[in-house]
Chains A and B, each alone.
Chain A
Amino acid sequence: MARIHLTPDLSAMLDFDSVGSSITRQHRRAGGGRKHAIRRMAGEFHSETEWTLRNISTSVQAGESVALIGLPDDGREEFLRLAAGTLIPDEGVVRRKEIIIPMIGVVPALDRSYTFRQNVYIVGGLLGMTPNEVESKVDGIAEQAEIEGRLDKYLANARPIVRQKLAWSICMAVETRAYAIDQLLVVGDGEYRDHCWAALERKRAEGITFLVSSDTDEDLMRFCDRAIVISQGAIIAETSVEEGIEIRKALIPDSKRKRDKARVEEEDDEDYEDL
């Protein structure tokens, strides 16, 4: 746990001090014509730095549930990752009092070629659980995710909904005082959702801090105390959830920024041995 630095004597749970995070995008020389053909072939780049978040200063008190409201790709995910420490800021400082569990992309982190049990160990381990801790909790997690008896089956054939349930259950089993959740607030359907809500409300009553980013307004209104509205990499308002949602609705028409998030898969992934 060497990477995440904690500040135990911080008064708030989480504190952002003029934090910025940027991405450097490299463009191949564009445009047609013969003039640039050789430059294109030589792979000439020009790179440009784009700030996904900048000058973010805010803090979250222990026990609060804060909704992050914004349009897609406006920096909410980065905000959560910075909060949890799975992203390191380029500017400013993020201080956190205790470990914040990142529930951001847990489902893709499940490995299809492993069994349910192995996945519990791996994801649990990534989230900071010790093997003994997982050992004692694995049955509880299986019960929670409704996969008892299937623990030693491989995940490859599991339906997406089952994977979501598994990811959610593992995260909920971690002993922590804070969560940073992206979209995965409640999973499953019908009765299972109620069951999720009950578990979340219980945690909230215990004084656990939640940072939630979701596009489902009803969930935010039901669960969160206040809202932080993020637009184009800056905090534009810190208000109540209802007002935050209103602000976002007003934002929709004039936002035209779309980010190409398709990640380029590495093309030479085959095994090779040199000799």
Chain B
Amino acid sequence: MLRMLVLRDLQKTYTKLRLGYLWTLLEPLGMSIVLWLVFSVLLSRHIGQQPYALFITVGILPWWWFTKGIAQSTRSFKRNTNALRISLLPTQIWVLRVVLVSMIEFIFSLPIIVLAMILTRTMPSPLIILFPVAIFVQFLLMYGLGLLVASGVAIVPDLARIVRIAMRALFYLSPVLYSITKIPDHIQPFAAVNPIVGILGLYRIGFWSSEIETPWHYALSFGVILVIISVGFLVFKRLEPRILKGA
């Protein structure tokens, strides 16, 4: 059932637009190029690892998945009220569905990273095997967080706007455009409270070995992820009767 819903969603997005699949590539690609131009050519700051073009794509793509998935999960219960009314299936599938759809779109957009690797003539180290692990961890985080915001929004609609602002703040607080090694030393130990730090670290570890030097960050990030998942599930379980009532 879930597989079917996901396939239908993908089909819908890809048949509606003329360029179909190409948009999955073009959107984040355009974003990466703009940011690369601004930070590398115009400002010529060294805020990330070299080559910066690759660094930024590896940051932007997971972030793109993250925002898309979370933004859609805020609406996932509201949008499916009619289905919720007759559904005998677990209520979580509506969140799982948007998270999976955005994940598949992310995986489809991975050729951009390959393109950036070719353009910058960079070869990853064997540690690139941690890349799928990063995808899995991000999926878990998004499922937990998605449940949390989806249940919250179903009860207090204002939360959708707060989430929107929070996501923007999180974009600048996360090392998407810059490297975690470039922030001031006294903030360093606490930076990884933001779980994105750990996830992006895992994505990048195969390209830049200096990301390995922060095991403390990983531990902290994954701890926070576990907390978010448990809170997400608990809140969802508590609010489920009210979510159904709103349907």
Identify the A interface with B (CB < 8 A).
1-4, 21, 23, 81, 84-90, 99, 101-106, 108-109, 113-114, 118, 121-123, 125-128, 130-131, 263, 266, 268-269, 272-275
Which of chain B's residues have a CB closer than 8 A to the CB of A123? Answer: 86
Q: Which residue of chain B has its CB nearest to the CB of A100?
A: B88
Interface-located stretch among B1-9, B43-51, B127-135, B211-219: B1-9
Q: A87-B241, A126-B89 are in contact. List 10 more A-B contacts (CB 8 A).
A: A86-B85, A86-B244, A88-B241, A90-B241, A101-B88, A123-B86, A126-B87, A130-B1, A268-B160, A274-B71
- A268 to B66: give the CA distance in the assembly, Å: 20
Which of chain A's residues have a CB closer than 8 A to the CB of B245? Answer: 21, 23, 87
Complex interface bits, B41-64 against A, C-beta within 8 A gives 1, otherwise 0: 000000000000000000000011
- Which one of A88, A103, A106, A273 lies within 8 Å of B240 (CB-CB)? A88
Which of chain A's residues have a CB closer than 8 A to the CB of B4? Answer: 121-122, 125, 131
The minimal Cβ–Cβ distance linking B206 to chain A, given in whole angstroms, is 24
Interface of chain B: mostly helix, strand, loop or mixed: helix
Q: Kindly state whether residue B24 has any CB partner on chain A within 8 Å.
A: no
CB pair B78 A126 closer than 8 Å: no
Q: Kindly state whether residue B182 has any CB partner on chain A within 8 Å.
A: no
Which of chain B's residues have a CB closer than 8 A to the CB of A102? Answer: 85-86, 88
- A122 to B86: give the CA distance in the assembly, Å: 11
CB pair A109 B86 closer than 8 Å: yes
19 CB < 8 A contacts A-B: A1-B88, A1-B90, A23-B245, A81-B85, A85-B88, A88-B241, A122-B4, A123-B86, A125-B89, A126-B1, A126-B86, A126-B87, A127-B88, A130-B1, A263-B81, A269-B78, A273-B67, A273-B68, A273-B71
8 Å CB interface, B74-88 against A: 75, 78-79, 81-88
User: What bracket does the count of chain B residues touching chain A fall in?
Assistant: 35 or more
Q: Kindly state whether residue B181 has any CB partner on chain A within 8 Å.
A: no
With contact pairs A122-B5, A131-B1, A274-B168 given, residues A104 and B86 touching in the complex (Cβ less than 8 Å) = yes
Which of chain B's residues have a CB closer than 8 A to the CB of A109? Answer: 82-83, 85-86
Give the number of A-B contacts (CB < 8 Å).
Answer: 97
Which of chain A's residues have a CB closer than 8 A to the CB of B68? Answer: 273
8 Å CB interface, B131-177 against A: 157, 160, 164, 167-168, 171
- Which one of B63, B87, B89, B160 lies within 8 Å of A275 (CB-CB)? B63
- A101 to B88: give the CA distance in the assembly, Å: 8
Complex interface bits, B1-40 against A, C-beta within 8 A gives 1, otherwise 0: 1001100100010000000000000000001000000000
Q: Kindly state whether residue B194 has any CB partner on chain A within 8 Å.
A: no
With contact pairs A86-B244, A125-B1, A126-B83 given, residues A274 and B88 touching in the complex (Cβ less than 8 Å) = no
The minimal Cβ–Cβ distance linking A232 to chain B, given in whole angstroms, is 19
Which of chain B's residues have a CB closer than 8 A to the CB of A105? Answer: 82, 85-86
Which of chain A's residues have a CB closer than 8 A to the CB of B240? Answer: 88
CB pair B5 A3 closer than 8 Å: no
Which of chain B's residues have a CB closer than 8 A to the CB of A274? Answer: 67, 71, 164, 167-168, 171
In the complex, the 10 A-B pairs of residues with the closest C-beta atoms, listed nearest first: A88-B241, A125-B1, A126-B87, A109-B82, A108-B82, A274-B167, A2-B90, A105-B85, A274-B67, A128-B88
Which of chain A's residues have a CB closer than 8 A to the CB of B31? Answer: 275
The minimal Cβ–Cβ distance linking A107 to chain B, given in whole angstroms, is 9
Which of chain A's residues have a CB closer than 8 A to the CB of B241? Answer: 87-90
Which of chain A's residues have a CB closer than 8 A to the CB of B167? Answer: 274
Q: Which residue of chain A has its CB nearest to the CB of B153?
A: A266
CB pair B168 A86 closer than 8 Å: no
